[in-house]
Amino acid sequence: MTGAVRHFLDHNAGAPLLPAARARMIEVLDLAGNPSSVHAEGRAARAVVEQARAEIAALCGARPDRVLFTSGGSESNAWMLHQAGMGPLAVSAVEHDSVLAAAPHAPRIPVDDQGVVHPHAVAAMLDRLPDGGAGALVAVMAVNNETGVIQPVAEIAALVHARGGRVACDAVQAAGRLDLGTLCGAVDFLSLSAHKIGGPKGVGVLVAGPEIEPAALIPGGQEYRRRGGTENLAGIAGFGAAAAVLGATDRAAEALRLAALRDRIQAALADAAPDVLFPGRDAAFGRVANTLSVVLPGIAAETQVMRMDLAGIAVSAGSACSSGKVAASPVLAAMGLGDLAGQAIRVSLGAGSTADDAEAFIAAWCRMAARRNRAAAE
Active-site annotation, residues:
321
SS3 at position 167: strand
CB atoms closer than 10 angstroms to residue 216: 16
Beta bridge partners of 10: 348
CA distance 95 to 291: 16
Residue type, 337: L
CA distance 353 to 11: 9
Left if phi > 0, otherwise alpha if psi is -120 to 50, otherwise beta: which for 3?
Answer: left
Complete DSSP assignment for 188-244? SEEEEEGGGTTS-SS-EEEEE-TT--PPPSB-SSHHHHTB-S---HHHHHHHHHHHH
User: 207, 185 in Cβ contact below 8 A?
Assistant: no
Q: Which residues contact 267 (CB under 8 A, 6 or more apart)?
A: none
Compute the residue count for the chain.
378
Q: Angle formed by the axes of helices 40-60 and 233-247, to 10°?
A: 40
Which alpha helices (H) appear in the chain, and where do they start and end?
19-29, 40-60, 73-82, 97-100, 119-128, 153-162, 180-186, 222-225, 233-247, 251-272, 301-310, 330-334, 355-377
CB atoms closer than 10 angstroms to residue 13: 20
CA distance 317 to 319: 7
CA distance 362 to 268: 7
Cα separation values, 309 from 4, 14, 189, 312, Å: 12, 16, 37, 5
User: 93, 152 in Cβ contact below 8 A?
Assistant: no
